[in-house]
Amino acid sequence: SGYDVWRSWDEAGGIRDELYSLAKKNPQIVKLEVLGHTAQGREIIAVKLTQAAKPTPDGTRPAVVYSSTQHAREWISTEVNRRLMNYYIDGWKSGDQEVKRILKNNELWFLLVANPDGYQYTFDHERLWRKNLRDNDGDGQITRADGVDPNRNFPEHFGFDEEGSSAQISSDTYRGPSAASEPETQAMISLLDRSKAEFQVNYHSFGQWLLYPEGWQTGTPSADDPIYYALSGNRDDPAIPDFEPGLSSDVLYVTNGETTDFAHSQQGTLAWTPELGEGDQEGGFVFPDDEAQVQAEFERALPFALDVAKSAADPADPVSH
């Protein structure tokens, strides 16, 4: 791809190749699952990590879904999540006791590129593309009029108002023709179903936020708030250093049809949106192509990711940050 750090989906040795090769090399702990196919025919791939003498059926162990790159341009989210997946695989191989405990007790699911069409498009055509590649106007080409925002297409307050998503096809927050109209949305829903996940960490970028539901309104507290508070930390001592934890609709902005709202309300999966990376305006989407800075961002995010996994067996009694 011409970058030091970033790798596209399609290229030889890219993200898709890595998923297949990790599954092939580590059959005792890695299972690959094709959840669906995009408009352009790319596979939407999840990987399950768990260790057992005999294969355990999906959804039988306390589960965490780590997902990333619903928004095509948010490359740092895939790279942090990819390093997390490899941290678990390498840790298991080298006998890291904490990692081995987690993989014996839980199933961890990784959806590194939730929007592979859009992701590939940011390498080949337009670095700042956000949405998927639905041909909204049916003219057979991809232009500004095309694409659905994968994080506005979920069947939870879908299209509730025009502030939280848009009905305009050219908008970057176009919600799509109907709830769960998109293969990327259907794949995420099937993953949450299959895993019966206790928790989801849905990495995005940017802004150094650690967001949790609800996103569609600020009004109603949830009975699960104590778990969100315990795992997220607070402004003075956040679970991801320098990130501000908070209610997504309150500290950032209102959305509807959003993933973590759906996960929490419809699936009973407590879910966060970490917004990785600092920056201002659109520049923040272009995280530096610099190994040391990318690794530092991964290491910053790691303790929270581990705490969530360690809490999955008993979410009511979370590993308090």
Annotated active-site residue 275? The verdict is yes
Could you say which of 43, 74, 244, 275 is catalytic? 275
> Could you say which of 24, 225, 241, 253 contacts ligand 0X9 (CB under 6 A)?
253
Phi, psi of 283 (to 5 degrees): -55, -30
Q: Taken in order 75, 76, 77, 80, is the CA torsion positive or negative?
A: positive
What per-residue string of b and e applies to 19-38 under the rule 16 or more CB within 10 Å gives b?
beebbeebeebbbebebbeb
DSSP 147-169: ---GGG-SSSSTT--TTTSBS-T
CA–CA dist 141, 194 (Å, integer)? 34
Residues 189 to 208: which contact ligand 0X9 by CB under 6 A?
204-205
Shortest distance, position 89 Cβ to ligand 0X9, whole Å: 27
The reply to whether 204 sits near Zn ion by the rule CB under 5 A is yes
Q: Which of 192, 191, 156, 193 is nearest to 175 (CA)?
A: 156
Minimum Å gap between C-beta 43 and ligand 0X9 is: 23
Segment interacting with ligand 0X9, rule: CB under 6 A, options 13-21, 56-64, 183-191, 251-259: 251-259
Q: How far is the CB of 173 from ligand 0X9 (least distance, A)?
A: 7
C-beta closer to ligand 0X9: residue 7 or 130:
130
User: Minimal CA–CA distance to 116: which of 40, 220, 63, 23?
Assistant: 40
Residue nearest to ligand 0X9 (CB): 215
Q: How far from 18 is each of 2, 7, 8, 14, 189, CA to CA, in Å?
A: 17, 10, 11, 6, 24
Backbone angles phi, psi at 81, to 5 degrees: -70, -35
**Partner whose footprint covers residue 215, from Zn ion, ligand 0X9, none (CB < 5 to 8 Å by kind):** ligand 0X9
Is the Cβ–Cβ distance between 44 and 36 less than 8 Å? yes
CA-based nearest residue to 7, from 83, 75, 94, 81: 75
Where does this chain touch ligand 0X9 (CB under 6 A) — which range of 41-49, 140-148, 252-260, 302-310?
A: 252-260
Binding mask 204-243 for ligand 0X9 (x = CB under 6 A): xx-----x---x----------------------------
Taking a C-beta distance cutoff of 8 angstroms, is the pair 184, 132 a contact?
Answer: yes
Q: If binding is defined by CB under 6 A, does position 153 make contact with ligand 0X9?
A: no
The structure tokens listed for 149 are 């925002």
Q: Considering beta carbons, is residue 51 or 205 the nearer one to ligand 0X9?
A: 205
- Nearest-angstrom CA–CA distance, 102 and 265: 26
Residues 11-50 that bind ligand 0X9 (CB under 6 A): none
Interface residue with ligand 0X9 among 61, 71, 82, 264 (CB under 6 A) is 71
81 binds ligand 0X9 per the rule CB under 6 A: no
Q: Nearest distance from residue 269's CB to ligand 0X9, in Å?
A: 15
Distant-in-sequence, close-in-space partners of 164: CB < 8 Å, separation ≥ 6: 152, 157, 173, 215, 216, 253, 254, 255, 256, 257, 258
Q: Is residue 248 at the binding interface for ligand 0X9, with CB under 6 A as the rule?
A: yes
Q: Distance (Å, rounded) from C-alpha 47 to C-alpha 170?
A: 33
Q: Under a CB-based contact definition with an 8 Å cutoff, are residues 260 and 200 in contact? A: yes
Interface segment toward Zn ion; rule CB under 5 A; list 1-9, 71-79, 192-200, 259-267: 71-79
Smallest separation, CB 233 to ligand 0X9 (Å): 18
Contact between 270 and ligand 0X9 (CB under 6 A)? no
> Given the rule CB under 5 A, which residues bind Zn ion?
71, 74, 204
Q: Which residues are part of the catalytic machinery?
A: 275
Residues that bind ligand 0X9 (CB under 6 A): 71, 74, 151, 204-205, 211, 215, 248-249, 252-255, 258, 273, 275
